[in-house]
Amino acid sequence: MFKKILIATDGSEYAVRAAEVALDLAHKTGARVLVLSVIDAGVLGDFHGESEKERARVERDMRLAAEGNVEYVLRLAADVGVEATGHVLTGRPNIEMVNLTNSEAADLIVLGRHRRRSIGRIMRSDLAVRLMEDLDCSILVVV
């Protein structure tokens, strides 16, 4: 069914739940997994008026958080015997997901519900719409 699954994570409880579902699916189908966390360049841009030292601190903290989020999902994958590789990228989340999905030929993206949004709001959100427009693979939103 699926050969390569991309799990997008931001470390939230919803992302962790999505990762668990994706890893269960990967285990059952023998799919390989790509784990992605994106350092949002838009958020970094919000700090353009700050000192270089402060901006560097924020970027370092965001990188450490993203790396920790990826490492956590990689440990979950190892625990269930799923082959997984991790990626931490900087940019716009939707663009980085599209680029990695296309370059790695993933055939499923698994996302967690974003905070307290309903499924209707998720499907109308900028991220979901852009992914659906730019990809030829399935997208699973876990609530």
Percentage, residues of the chain above pLDDT 70: 87
The pLDDT value recorded for residue 119 is: 46
Q: CA end-to-end span of the chain, whole Å?
A: 22
Percentage, residues of the chain above pLDDT 90: 64
Q: Looking at the predicted structure, is the pLDDT value of residue 107 above 80?
A: yes
The pLDDT value recorded for residue 71 is: 98
Q: Which domain holds residue 66?
A: 4-142
**Backbone conformation region of residue 66, classed left if phi is above 0, alpha if psi is from -120 to 50, else beta:** alpha
CATH code of the domain covering residue 109: 3.40.50.620
Q: How many domains does the chain have?
A: 1
Residues 20-64: pLDDT tens digits? 999 999 999 999 999 999 999 988 888 878 888 998 999 999 999
CA atoms of 11 and 68, how far apart (whole Å): 8
The pLDDT value recorded for residue 2 is: 95
Rounded to the nearest 5°, which phi and psi values hold at 91?
160, -155
